[in-house]
Structure 1
């Protein structure tokens, strides 16, 4: 509910800014079309006028930089407040037609804001006007205001849709460009996942070779020595028993790092609680999950937290780790792992790069902020839809 309210307030701010910039766009549009007319007229003359026209066509029409600057301002507003995806570059000749059509939406936005103000005023009569007016006046006016408020909110959604379609039509990205970029992202993420799986296999092999295998070799040696020295059999078998217990513990650790069974049995929150309990450093865990995320998302989230906590323990000289997991409306899962260590983590390192690839495979995003001296903050957002 809180996130929905924030989104609505952000959209309202974007519509208000759009209505305000509409007043500024009017002179820009007039100057832009005047500059085009001058450029076309200059190219129609002969002699020196024609040469001047060639210079103008090479440099662009007059006021073209002003039109481009206004278009970039509109693009920033759409991205920041309305969440519209706009291409970084677009054909120069399409900017002025976009701004021209945008004037109509600015006027429509002003009408929507006026309707919102009127609906709030009349809708609030149900709260405060009982002492001033009679119920026969207050109730119909308040109900009408509430209904107008509902229509206005729906009108805001429609206006945002029109803004997005207009920007996409003139500025892009086109459907073909979007599909091409999506195919490239999928190809990159697929290659990244293959590489991450290969690296994970190498890590498992190292864990087995350096840990469990060495324990089993020591266990075999202890049993062989006990067979050759019956007088020391009790001591050597006790040593073999300890080596077997250590090998079993390390084997469980390797299995846990490969995939924790508690994730399937009790869910993401329980798996993170177990991870926090097993960590040698204090871990402040805050998990706010209304629903259990899908299994691939929960698995990726767990390993992001696990790798971040492991890095903090091994490399950061941290004293404390804070982990926050929040299920956002959308739906999406947001993660944040922060430690008070020395910082300097390399996002291109093997572990963090593998996490970034794992997250990208689910259309998510991972960011690492780790300046020298700390703190290190790793954030990730995973779509659940």
Structure 2
């Protein structure tokens, strides 16, 4: 009997996976590349930790001298304490960013509160991994020099093959030990930050509950303020215009002259158009319905077209954020534009929106006269809205300008 037809199909899944260049080989190659990148990131982060440890020790030395010198004078002591707190918080913030990069960028860069004894103690404790890191990299540098000497001797023929192999084995073992030491120092860095900077789970939970209760009360207050503002706009603006419109139509109805009736109706038509515009403005203050169909950049472009001040917008968002985030950023931009037009006599407003360190960041800057009050009703209400989404709002408005409003919200 003749043989059956030859099967020339694709190899089975196991053979394909085991074949050179198959999915398994590609995955293994990706894992190796990722491991090498992680090892390199750890080494660089530990090396940077050596420098930050030196900076922390110098800071603590200067702070101790300044604190001792200002102790007899209470006003000077308070000023020195404030400076120590501020610069210690800056150093701790740099440490957190370094540790975030050491961990592969997960979790963002946490905000740092005003520095206290916990942060000062962390900067002092950082001396130990800093010294050990300097020692590890010093041994690595010595090993590189000895490897160069060994290579030169091998090229001149001063070493036998057996001696060269033994030296290579010893060098590889020492290199692996050094690499393990660097990795362990990275783990020590993370452990110190977790133990000395991060609060205990129960304390963190209690602080979070207090923060949520405060933000809830602030949101309720902000909603009440916004309702009062809408009621005032309706009463003082739209309601008065509608009353005047009714009076115009009444006069037109009683008029016996065709020309006068036509003029009154034309004026009533103009007032009606302005009333519709005011009603649309009030509706947009309640909720920007244009966000249903357009993204934040396009909606702010519509706002810019109606603004009396020229507006330049740059929106660089790789992905569209959540609707709540877009809504809050919209209100922040509108409030900043309103303040720039009514109070700051600005001639240009720039709006920059991008993503940095896991946060959507919007910066509104005008070239006006400055002097904006962050505790005012409008800006304080916006700050409460931003805080309700775990964000923060910062206003910088020195006398003479410029005014900068910076809003940062988690990407969600």
Q: TM-score range by the shorter chain?
A: 0.5 to 0.7
Matched, 1:110 2:134: yes
Larger radius of gyration: 2
Matched, 1:334 2:361: yes
Cα distance in 1 between the residues matched to 2:252 and 2:240: 18
Q: How far is the alpha carbon of 1:384 from its aligned partner?
A: 1.5
Cα distance in 2 between the residues matched to 1:185 and 1:21: 34
Alpha carbons 1:212, 1:251 under 8 Å: kept: yes
1:212-291 counterparts in 2 under 5 A?
212-231=238-257, 232-291=260-319
Segments of 5+ residues of structure 1 without an aligned counterpart are 1-6, 28-69, 122-143
1:82 is aligned to: 96
Cα distance in 1 between the residues matched to 2:262 and 2:143: 89
2:333 is aligned to: 305
Cα distance in 2 between the residues matched to 1:300 and 1:276: 17
1:323 is aligned to: 351
Alpha carbons 1:319, 1:340 under 8 Å: kept: yes
Could you tell me which of 362, 368, 379 is aligned with 2:395? 368
Aligned residue for 2:365, secondary structure, equals strand
Alpha carbons 2:352, 2:363 under 8 Å: kept: yes
Q: Deviations over 1:112-154 (max 9, x none)?
A: 7569989999xxxxxxxxxxxxxxxxxxxxxx9xxx9x99997
Cα distance in 1 between the residues matched to 2:44 and 2:306: 41
Aligned residue for 1:367, secondary structure, equals strand
Q: Kindly tell me: are residues 74 and 285 of structure 1, through their superposed partners in 2, closer, same or farther at Cα, counting changes over 3 Å?
A: closer
2:204 is aligned to: 178
Aligned residue for 2:277, secondary structure, equals helix
Larger CA deviation: 357-366 vs 242-251: 242-251
1:335-350 counterparts in 2 under 5 A?
335-350=362-377
1:380 is aligned to: 407
Q: Kindly tell me: are residues 120 and 269 of structure 1, through their superposed partners in 2, closer, same or farther at Cα, counting changes over 3 Å?
A: farther
TM-score, L = length of structure 1: 0.67
Matched, 1:207 2:241: no
2:382 is aligned to: 355
Cα distance in 2 between the residues matched to 1:254 and 1:178: 41
Alpha carbons 2:315, 2:354 under 8 Å: kept: yes
Cα distance in 2 between the residues matched to 1:190 and 1:119: 60
Matched, 1:165 2:194: yes
Q: How many residue pairs get matched? A: 306
TM-score, L = length of structure 2: 0.63
Aligned residue for 1:286, secondary structure, equals strand
Q: Kindly tell me: are residues 164 and 17 of structure 1, through their superposed partners in 2, closer, same or farther at Cα, counting changes over 3 Å?
A: same
